[in-house]
């Protein structure tokens, strides 16, 4: 028998809606935080080992975390904040206007959290592009609002 | 006898110059990637568990990586890109205009790298504020331009 007061547990992977990074967003972020030629200029990107203007890895991670939040919402978990990262790997570049989605799996939920009023979700996610290629893989711990999960 | 053709090895911790995040930068980043009230609005930040408008953790990580690059440059290593993150922990919030520095240690250098023409530096860093408090701790692997290190 399933109880609707049970805390959430491990889930199947859930795919988020898509978001993209525009040329303006990629160049704007890189100018502030990651001023490499292939993040700043189309021609330099084309001439680089990546073969095109591509986003800073941290920008991909930040967008990916927003997508992870969206995926958790689809699982009725109110994402509050990422608490820690246990592993983050970038597999391939993310180019202008690629549609990114987060395929997010909740490995488990712990009842306590460093953020007051929250539980801790242990998560793993693949950030994929519109071709289904994995551009980044992230695992870590997220605070989720316990109010939405417990009576 | 020291050879100037030897690849770089482990180093003592090096402190980077300081950079800060303005209110405009914090709100601009959060609007795109991390739209939590305490990242978007001063009054909401003051009323939050953090006690003030504070930066998204990914913005701290991105700025921290720029500072790590600056610290590696001081060790005559031309930082190209972070390749992977093995651990990232946020210890306390980063508020508007706090001066952040990266205390960066090179744990070792491997001669090969997934980025052509580069070596891999295994790094660990503490991101500290002007009071010397650790706001984040990061370890991972970075590509450094081998051209600046090998003849």
Does A18 or B49 have the greater pLDDT score? A18
Q: Please determine, for residue A67, whether its predicted confidence score (pLDDT) is greater than 60.
A: yes
Size of chain B, expressed as the number of residues it contains: 151
**A71 lies in some domain:** yes
| Pick from A29-43, A80-94, A135-149: least confident | A135-149
What number is the ipTM of this complex? 0.83
**A65 lies in some domain:** yes
**B94 lies in some domain:** yes
3-state secondary structure A93-141: CCECCCCEEEEEEEEEEECCCCCCCEEEEEEEEEEECCCCCEEEEEEEE
Both tokens of residue A15?
A: 């795919």
Evaluated on CA atoms B29, B34, B39, B40, the torsion sign reads: positive
Q: Please determine, for residue B146, whether its predicted confidence score (pLDDT) is greater than 90.
A: no
Q: Nearest-CA distance from B57 to chain A in Å?
A: 8
Residue-wise pLDDT for B77-106, tens only, equals 999 989 999 999 999 999 999 999 999 999
Q: Domain of B123?
A: 14-148
**B9 lies in some domain:** no
Question: For position A21, what pLDDT does the model report?
Answer: 96
Sheet holding A134-145, edge to edge: A14-15, A101-110, A118-128, A134-145, A79-90, B79-90, B134-145, B118-128, B101-110, B14-15
Q: Please determine, for residue B2, whether its predicted confidence score (pLDDT) is greater than 60.
A: no
Q: Please determine, for residue B63, whether its predicted confidence score (pLDDT) is greater than 60.
A: yes
Q: Nearest-CA distance from A88 to chain B in Å?
A: 5
**B8 lies in some domain:** no
Residue A27 sits at the chain B interface (C-beta within 8 Å): no
- pLDDT band of residue A9 (cuts 50, 70, 90) is low
Contact A66, A97 (CB under 8 A): no
Nearest Cβ partner for A58 among B25, B61, B89: B61
**B84 lies in some domain:** yes
Average pLDDT, chain B: 90
Question: For position A1, what pLDDT does the model report?
Answer: 43
Residue-wise pLDDT for A112-126, tens only, equals 998 888 999 999 999
Q: What is the CATH number of the domain that holds B66?
A: 3.10.129.10
Give the count of domains, chain B: 1
Average pLDDT, chain A: 90
pTM for the model stands at: 0.87
Residue A65 sits at the chain B interface (C-beta within 8 Å): yes
Question: For position B8, what pLDDT does the model report?
Answer: 56
**A2 lies in some domain:** no
Residue B79 sits at the chain A interface (C-beta within 8 Å): no
**B62 lies in some domain:** yes
Q: Summarize the confidence of residues B63-80 as an average pLDDT.
A: 93
- pLDDT band of residue B147 (cuts 50, 70, 90) is confident
């Amino acid at each position: 028998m399933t109880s609707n007061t049970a805390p959430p547990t491990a889930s199947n992977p859930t795919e988020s809606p898509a978001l993209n990074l525009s040329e303006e967003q990629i160049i704007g972020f890189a100018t502030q935080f990651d001023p490499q030629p292939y993040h700043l200029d189309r021609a330099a990107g084309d001439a680089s080992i990546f073969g095109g203007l591509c986003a800073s890895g941290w920008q991909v991670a930040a967008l990916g975390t927003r997508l992870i939040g969206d995926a958790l919402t689809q699982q009725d978990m109110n994402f509050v904040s990422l608490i820690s990262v246990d592993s983050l790997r970038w597999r391939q570049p993310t180019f202008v206007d690629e549609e990114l989605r987060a395929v997010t799996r909740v490995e488990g939920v712990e009842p306590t959290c460093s953020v007051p009023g929250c539980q801790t979700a242990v998560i793993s996610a693949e950030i994929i592009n519109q071709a289904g290629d994995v551009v980044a893989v992230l695992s870590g711990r997220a605070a989720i609002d316990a109010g939405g999960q417990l009576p």
